[in-house]
Amino acid sequence: MSDSAATLDSVAVHAPARQRAASRSGGLSTTPYALVMPALTLMLLMLLGPLAAVIALSFTDYQLGAPSLSWIGLANYHEMLADKVFWTSLRNTLVYVGIVVPGAVCAGLAIALLIQSGRSLRSLYRTVYFLPVMATLIAMAVVWEFMLHPQFGLVNGLLREIGIAGPSWLQDRATALYALCAIGIWQAAGFNMVLFLAGLVSIPKQLYEAAEIDGASSAWSRFRLVTWPLLRPVTTFVVVISGIRSFQVFDTVHVLTKGGPSKSSEVLIHTMYTEGFEFFRSGYGAALTVVFLVFILLLTLIKSRLADRGVQYA
């Protein structure tokens, strides 16, 4: 395909320029199709096809290695809705998102505002707060596990110094999910900080000067009147991005708790992984994926809604 197109092109070189221009704008040339063909093929094969397949699979009883599959309608969904594990998993995911999103967004905003409020050491601070984003999460999860070790860990060691007996964070069903949330916030805050910093830099300086002339002398009133309204599009954007990313939580859960103890930290993608890749119940795993997709889609819709409104403001 690409070979023939290449020969066509080398012929075209000798043709008059006018003809070449015509073939370029007339949509007759095969060159554009040759250029997009590898991308289009792979897109259909690895992205759009599988997306359609996951929805179709969710209506079947397919299991990896099974000789055949049959259409079972909504049976997977019925099973899911009747399964306590699914509801626990969904609730835990929502709790995780509900804690990590506000936590990581507020932390990111606070750090960005603090860094931007002065001149000195800006890039040093930015680097330090960005480190957790760069570091391989699995490796850092293992470090956190040791920090949270009930006996020899740093966290309980520090608590002991002030006379508190800390729990066995990751082995206690009352704390496991929240410990994972803390790791999630620690990792995401620096990422949000970078997005907020970009938003802060784009606020025109004159607006602050104008606000000051109009009597907004305190830092708080300048924040309330200028920074916050102008940062709102960025903020909604960061909230949705954080939401989508925390819905995908898997790494820390899989390596630290496997969803335990007694499902107290089971989350959606981990349930999908267990069903789809440990029990090889592809059909049921696909149904769980569809639920996950619905949530991601909802967040994306909110984002595009708000993005449209943001454009009107600007």
Partner 1 sequence: MMVQRKISLWAVIRHILLVAGALVMLLPFVWMISTASKPPSEVFSSELHLIPRHFALWDNLQTAFAKANLWRFLLNGVIVTVSIFALQVLVALPAAYALAKLRFIGRNALFALVLFGILIPPQATAIPVFLLLHKLGVLDSYAALVLPFTISVFGIFLMRQFFRNVPDDLVDAARMDGISEFGIVWRVMLPAAIPAVTAFGIFSVVAHWNDYFWPLIVLNSEHLRTPPLAVAHFRNAEAGTNYGPLMAAAMVIIAPLLVAFLLAQRRFVEGIALTGIK
Contacts (CB under 8 A) with partner 1, residues 81-100: none
Residue from 1, 36, 106, 307 touching partner 1 (CB under 8 A): that is: 36
* Binders in 130-159 for partner 1, by CB under 8 A: 130-140, 142-147, 149, 151-152, 154, 157-158
Rounded distance between C-alpha atoms, residue 160 and residue 123, angstroms? 35
238 part of the interface to partner 1, by CB under 8 A: yes
191 part of the interface to partner 1, by CB under 8 A: yes
CB of 131 to partner 1, least distance (A): 6
Bond before 261 cis per omega within 30 degrees: yes
29 part of the interface to partner 1, by CB under 8 A: yes
CB of 64 or CB of 81, closer to partner 1: 64
* Binders in 206-225 for partner 1, by CB under 8 A: 219
162 part of the interface to partner 1, by CB under 8 A: no
CB of 181 or CB of 272, closer to partner 1: 272
43 part of the interface to partner 1, by CB under 8 A: yes
Number of residues that bind partner 1 (CB under 8 A): 104
Identify any residues that bridge with 60 across adjacent strands, giving them in sequence order.
71
Please say whether the beta carbons of 158 and 204 come within 8 A: no
b/e map 213-251, b = 16+ CB within 10 Å:
eeebeeeeebbebbbeebbebbbbbbbbbbbbbbbebeb
Q: How many CA atoms lie within 13 A of 115 on its CB side?
A: 24
Rounded distance between C-alpha atoms, residue 37 and residue 42, angstroms? 8
CB of 199 or CB of 263, closer to partner 1: 199
DSSP for 273-297? HIIIIIS--HHHHHHHHHHHHHHHH
> Which of 249, 248, 244 minimizes the C-alpha distance to 300?
244
CB of 100 or CB of 115, closer to partner 1: 115
106 part of the interface to partner 1, by CB under 8 A: no
In degrees rounded to 5, what are phi and psi of residue 210?
A: -60, -40
CB of 162 to partner 1, least distance (A): 12
Residue from 22, 42, 74, 174 touching partner 1 (CB under 8 A): that is: 42
Please say whether the beta carbons of 158 and 208 come within 8 A: no
* Binders in 246-285 for partner 1, by CB under 8 A: 248, 250-251, 254-255, 269, 272-273, 276-277, 282, 285
CB of 130 to partner 1, least distance (A): 6
